[in-house]
């Protein structure tokens, strides 16, 4: 069986990315759109489009019933969730399955297992994958205090159902822990519908490294090497690169093998990302599993750049029942790639979201430059959704050349009418720790605070 038509339950650049992959594979694409996106690029470029609600996400892109009705009405045989919105909601994947449609992603049971941090940690331990020292779920302050004595301070209180860096509170002492447990539970209940939390030891200055995996329904699982994602603000990624600079070859091999082992253990299908923290340097570096993202990642273009794979096309083929088009020996990492997230935010105003009209737009080009965006001059960035408006990815044979290409491409990039993070990226590429690749998850916030 192969897919003949796919509804794309998303918007913006990722929806457009899936439209393009469908077109190359001869698959009919159906977009969905809210009032705010009636004239959006993904709507114009898809083969068909269905209106699903008002401008707010809760009444359109997060409305499971409206999305499913659009799928039924348009006669598709599959639903691609993109990233964000409903992509990691087990109830949505289950509803797609129950409607007799193919969910382009892992089974709903896998999303549920890996979406719960405590169950994901337990599964990682069964697979022999190292996890950050921590606890099982804690139900009270007293339980948390007892667990912290075993784990060791400083600790992080984390939402079991959390994601995207939300639902996390640090505590360096018992007094701090008493305060933050209740705060973390309230935030977790508000953001994720569950107040369950657990503790992890807070590692000191680690690097955030993730491994891209692909798996099919025939038992095939491969990794596509790793991405370095440590440049973060409030646990939201700003810049990513592949491969991770300075990662010891033996640590890389073990890290990638662990990601494959975890994917096999959970019965994964499709494209997914296994995220780790790496502490220490050289062959003495240690890595620890933290979570798995059961969807395509924002930063997938840099993996595509260094491996030559089309990850979205691979998702669609696998969802249609085909085996992976590559074996592990076929996946080779060549050169270096860097992605810059372009957000409609004002870095000088504490990254205040800045919706509005784009009055002028000049995109960079030339060898090794890729821009994933649905934004055009004259378009309006609406205030209802995530502020990401584009991804600039560059590739070159060496990391030094990729940095130079990134500087050149950023210098060409012009957006007028609203503030963006382009200027921040230009400055960031001159940061000594970025130049030499020694940055960690504390680097960006420390630099911004200084």
Contact 338, 302 (CB under 8 A): yes
- Measured in degrees and rounded to the nearest 5, phi and psi for residue 389 equal -115, -15
Helix and strand element counts for the chain (H, E): 15, 23
Catalytic residue among 17, 227, 295, 370: 295
Helix (H) or strand (E) holding 93: helix 90-98
Note if the bond before 118 is cis, omega within 30 degrees: no
- Measured in degrees and rounded to the nearest 5, phi and psi for residue 26 equal 75, 30
- Count the residues in the chain: 450
Contact 88, 293 (CB under 8 A): yes
Contact 55, 34 (CB under 8 A): yes
Active-site residue, 295 included: yes
By C-alpha distance, which of 60, 55, 105 is closest to 79? 105
Contact 266, 258 (CB under 8 A): no
**Helix 108-115, helix 90-98: angle, nearest 10:** 170
| Close Cβ partners of 347 (under 8 Å, ≥ 6 residues apart) | 419, 421, 423, 424
Q: How many CB atoms lie within 10 A of CB 190?
A: 11
- Measured in degrees and rounded to the nearest 5, phi and psi for residue 88 equal -120, 30
Burial level of 22, CB count in 10 A (0-12/13-18/19+)?
buried
- The DSSP secondary-structure symbol of 131 reads B
Largest CA distance in the chain: 60
DSSP H helices, 162-288, are 174-192, 249-266
d(CA 78, CA 97): 9
By C-alpha distance, which of 308, 307, 340 is closest to 413? 340
The catalytic site residues sit at: 295
């Amino acid at each position: 069986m192969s897919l003949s038509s796919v509804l794309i339950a998303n918007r913006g650049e990722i929806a457009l990315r899936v439209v393009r992959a469908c077109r190359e594979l001869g698959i009919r694409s159906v977009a969905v759109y809210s009032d705010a996106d009636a004239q959006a690029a993904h709507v114009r470029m898809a083969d068909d489009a269905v209106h699903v609600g008002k401008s707010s996400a809760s009444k359109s892109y997060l409305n499971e019933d409206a999305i499913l009705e659009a799928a039924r009405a348009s006669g598709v045989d599959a639903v691609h969730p993109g990233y964000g919105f409903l992509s990691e909601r087990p109830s949505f994947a289950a509803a797609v399955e129950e409607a007799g449609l193919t969910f382009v992603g892992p089974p709903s049971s896998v999303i549920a297992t890996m979406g719960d941090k405590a169950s994901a940690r337990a599964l990682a331990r069964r697979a022999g994958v190292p996890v950050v020292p921590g606890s099982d779920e804690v139900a009270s302050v007293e339980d948390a205090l007892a667990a912290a004595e075993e784990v060791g301070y400083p600790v992080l209180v984390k939402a079991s159902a959390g994601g995207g860096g939300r639902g996390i509170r640090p505590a360096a002492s018992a007094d701090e822990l008493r305060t933050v447990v209740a705060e973390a539970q309230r935030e977790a209940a508000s953001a994720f519908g569950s107040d369950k939390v657990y503790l992890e030891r807070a590692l000191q200055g680690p690097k955030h490294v993730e491994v891209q995996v692909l798996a099919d329904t025939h038992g095939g699982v491969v990794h596509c090497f790793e991405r370095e994602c440590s440049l973060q603000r409030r646990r939201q990624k700003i810049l990513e690169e592949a491969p991770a600079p300075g990662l010891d070859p033996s640590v890389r091999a073990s890290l990638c093998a662990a990601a494959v082992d975890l994917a096999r253990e959970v019965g994964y299908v499709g494209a997914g990302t296994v995220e780790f923290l790496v502490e220490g340097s050289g062959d003495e570096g240690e890595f620890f599993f933290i979570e798995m993202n059961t969807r395509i990642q924002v930063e997938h273009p840099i993996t595509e750049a260094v491996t030559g794979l089309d990850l979205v096309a691979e998702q669609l083929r696998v969802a249609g029942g085909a085996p992976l088009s590559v074996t592990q020996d076929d996946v080779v990492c060549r050169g270096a790639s860097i992605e810059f997230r372009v957000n409609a935010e004002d870095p000088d105003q504490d990254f205040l979201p800045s919706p509005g009209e784009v009055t002028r737009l000049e995109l960079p080009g030339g060898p090794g430059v890729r821009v994933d965006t649905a934004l055009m001059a004259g378009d309006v960035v609406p205030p209802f959704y995530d502020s990401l408006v584009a991804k600039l990815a560059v590739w070159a044979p060496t990391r030094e050349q990729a940095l130079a290409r990134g500087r050149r491409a950023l210098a060409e990039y012009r957006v007028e009418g609203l503030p963006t993070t382009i200027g921040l990226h230009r400055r960031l590429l001159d940061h000594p720790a970025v130049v030499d690749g020694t940055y960690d998850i504390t680097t960006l916030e420390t630099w911004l605070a200084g």
